[in-house]
Chains A and B, each alone.
Chain A
């Protein structure tokens, strides 16, 4: 007799119908897993689109930047010749770059416009493109950011007339207004020799770059975790990836990578749920399957029937997950950005494909592992598995030790260590068996504890899933709270002045400072400003103010800053691999690095000098743009300053509160993702306990027959669930603390360039633990209060 695959699938689906509780929990598990990854993907995609829109026009398509001190046009010509001769493998274009900041604080960027136009770098300029090519423009063509000129308008920079061809949206990098012009125009404005160059922009196309672009579409943010592509071979120059020019974009991509990794957690827990349920189902069907096998139905066909049914179950769950994931993304976008909720937009092909692969993959992989482990058991050896796990652990530790493995290395380490630790649940429960055998106390308690420890195969995976979810929740919570605590301290010190004032270009900041200093109640006024410069070819924001002892102390340096000293932020120290006490050459001057300060939330490289040294460094009087005022009555000062046209005034208390609110909104996404994982893990526990009761039906029937009532069963069920939950917590607490430490000490420096002081706080540990206990209690109570039929009805 031939049994078709369709019939086997149908039989398994009917079996699922007979166990609606566990079928629904598997369905919901897949839905939540897909919600998590689809939601994160869609959110990341939307943020990625915003990032692309904010990328400066001159960097479109650019993959690397080459610089050196004293770079000249001759270097460019020489490299171009080498490129034309085919010596620069995979390089598709080279472009010279000249940039500087005018006395008015406008950043001018000049490059080869013909090359940019050919590359489609100026899409919004079509109405002026004809004028540009026919030479009938009224000024040199320019693209502006952060300047109040409309497209078509003509304005002058120095003595050079410029016509606006397009406005680019404000990029976070642009702390100063930016004008993008042709190289020759830039030289006319700066008045420098056309032989001088600041950088050479390089576009490279290699299979690795293409792969990286493709992967970025499938998993937004992943490029932050990939190793850097091979650098183009320009031996006389310093060549760096373009990400160094786009610190905000790099920062956000790193955030997206972290979110992507966190979003995958729910899917991983869903996989464990699928495995756990498939295992229980297989045990219940084992007799039937064994009989079919003995009447010559092939094992492969039986496996295909079983896994095929799980696959069919996963498909509708995936589609529901995608729809809900889109809504989750919209809600998170609304929460994080404070924007109104958007209408439903059906996700694109990448999301559909990724979700379908993930959803059905969970079903196939979870079902297959369960099948492989459960039936038949004749040839299963654990030696190979142990060797494999040991190998993976060693490889993962390399990701921790070797910083060059980047984000991908450390996340691989986290994944392996977390999984290995979580799967200690089974040996832990087995170990408990010895203790439980000689246990005293009420019989319902002995029964509950022993049942949990005698059947670790039935409950161990759910225990591992719960341990994993709780550990991640603890780890992320510890990191966020450590971060929040340091960020809060930083805000308190950096934003110590009572009132902060941003001064527009038409007001003389020095004069305003003198005037304000004379007002009653004012205790102190300080001026500050910043400009963009290059240090060793890297774009750096140079900040300057009077760094007396008090102001330097806000950055953690306890002395006044001398003219020969600078403070640098951690990101700059990491990129240049330098530290306090070392020398740093900026322009033509050598400075001593007095201190490396923390700069959470700063996306870029920062260097601070005393105002008295700024003149020497930039060759002119730097323009001050900000005032910080200490006063007896901040509210009154606010009202006085607001009367001045164009001045932006804030109370530092309000700025601090706003910054903390933004901080909390930012981490709402990670909170949501850890909650989703906890939800699935709770479902897994509930499902495992229900499955356990089904597999222990004979004991249930016996207890029924001896008159063990609701309280006895409830007590035993609660204890059983609490033992599983307790084992999960025993694993989760050390794992979570380790995870928090790794997130602070490894992930943050690798992703964002700053270090966090890890703080072992009570609440981030206790809240997930309490939630896990509650989840166990709910699962135990649900198990104890529902009756499994013991006899034929």
Chain B
């Protein structure tokens, strides 16, 4: 039987930050793979490099060393994210990624509908709007299409962010502490909706969290440690 090729492959990843003469190694020789459709929790305390790792995976940051390979779709070959040019990185994020942040997930001057239409418009996939709209309905926000983010609750905003992240059917979804800003009840609901939606789409989820209970909901957990 042919082994399943990974959707994400990280090898020997190193990232340091400099502050004057101090050099801080945030990610130090990290290796891991994530399979297509797998939900992987990147668990660790603050400062362990979770957000940095997601930013590298999103080609928003360049690593100092190592490889980051991502498969844009099941039928395509792995691409080297660490060596993308700025323009290639933008295209990669637009097409392959969905991103859910902890804060500031929505563009405040766009309505719910417009926020969700944004990745569709960028990818020329406006025809997928009806699917995205249906997903929004399943997330319980079908009646808030014309609302601006400022009138939504924290939980509603995160649900819109999930709908936006999945609208253009990306192969990879990156979620950075998506429930970190919510109360326990809302956090549980949003987490459940996120896992459900990602699994329904068959996307690979890389979820950064310091919450052990949230990490437990994933298929697999990778522990990140603080480096001196």
Contacts and interface: CB of A to CB of B under 8 A. Distances in A.
Interface stretch (B100-108, B181-189, B192-200): B100-108
Given A454-B109, A705-B99, A706-B122, A446 B92 contact: no
Nearest to B108: A699
Nearest to B176: A705
A792 interface: yes
Contact of A790 (B60, B90, B164): B60
A443 B117 contact: yes
Interface in A125-163: none
B13 to A, nearest CB: 16
Given A702-B101, A791-B55, A707 B114 contact: no
Contacts of A442: 121
A387 B156 CA distance: 43
- Secondary structure dominating the interface of A: helix
Interface string B99-136: 10101111111100010011101100000000000000
B92 A707 contact: yes
Interface footprint category on B: 20 to 34
Contacts of A698: 103-104
Contacts of A443: 110, 114, 117-118, 121
A22 B92 CA distance: 33
Contacts of A709: 87, 90-91, 94, 122
Given A443-B117, A702-B101, A705-B58, A450 B109 contact: yes
Contacts of A451: 109
B93 interface: yes
A791 B61 contact: yes
A712 interface: yes
Interface string A254-282: 00000000000000000000000000000
Contact of B107 (A703, A710, A791): A703
Nearest to A448: B109
Contact of B105 (A437, A702, A707, A791): A702
B144 to A, nearest CB: 15
A701 interface: yes
Nearest to A444: B121
Contacts of A699: 104, 107-109
Nearest to A704: B60
B104 A707 contact: no
Contacts of B121: 442-443
A101 B93 CA distance: 92
A37 to B, nearest CB: 40
B17, B60, B91, B121 pick with most chain A CB within 10 angstroms: B60
Interface in B69-94: 87, 90-94
B50 interface: no
B112 to A, nearest CB: 13
Interface in A432-464: 437, 442-443, 446-447, 450-451, 454
Contact of B99 (A437, A706, A792, A793): A706
B105 A792 contact: no
A292 interface: no
Nearest to B95: A707
B109 A447 contact: yes
B94 A707 contact: yes
B114 A792 contact: no
B97 interface: yes
A712 B109 CA distance: 15
Contacts of A712: 122
A446 B113 CA distance: 13
A708 interface: yes
Contacts of A701: 104
A409 to B, nearest CB: 45
A604 B113 CA distance: 72
Contacts of B93: 704-707
Contacts of B118: 443, 706, 708
A793 B107 contact: no
A126 B108 CA distance: 82
Contacts of B103: 698
Given A451-B109, A454-B108, A705 B60 contact: yes
A707 B109 contact: no
B203 to A, nearest CB: 15
A709 B90 CA distance: 6
Nearest to A455: B109
A450 to B, nearest CB: 4
A13 B61 CA distance: 29
A211 to B, nearest CB: 54
Contact of A707 (B55, B91, B107): B91
A705 B101 contact: yes
Nearest to B106: A702
B94 A450 contact: no
A710, A790, A791 pick with most chain B CB within 10 angstroms: A791
Contact of B122 (A447, A707, A790): A707
A447 B107 contact: yes
Contacts of B148: 437
A394 to B, nearest CB: 39
Nearest to B123: A707
Contacts of B106: 702
Contacts of A792: 17, 52
Nearest to A443: B121
Contacts of B108: 454, 699
Interface string A695-739: 000110111111111101000000000000000000000000000
Contacts of B60: 704-705, 790-791
Given A698-B103, A706-B122, 20 more contacts: A443-B118, A446-B114, A447-B110, A450-B109, A454-B108, A454-B109, A699-B107, A702-B107, A703-B107, A705-B58, A705-B99, A705-B101, A706-B119, A708-B90, A708-B94, A709-B87, A709-B94, A710-B90, A791-B60, A791-B61
Listed from nearest, the 5 A-B pairs whose CB atoms lie closest are A707-B94, A698-B104, A450-B109, A707-B93, A705-B99
8 contacts: A442-B121, A443-B118, A699-B104, A702-B104, A706-B118, A706-B122, A707-B119, A790-B60
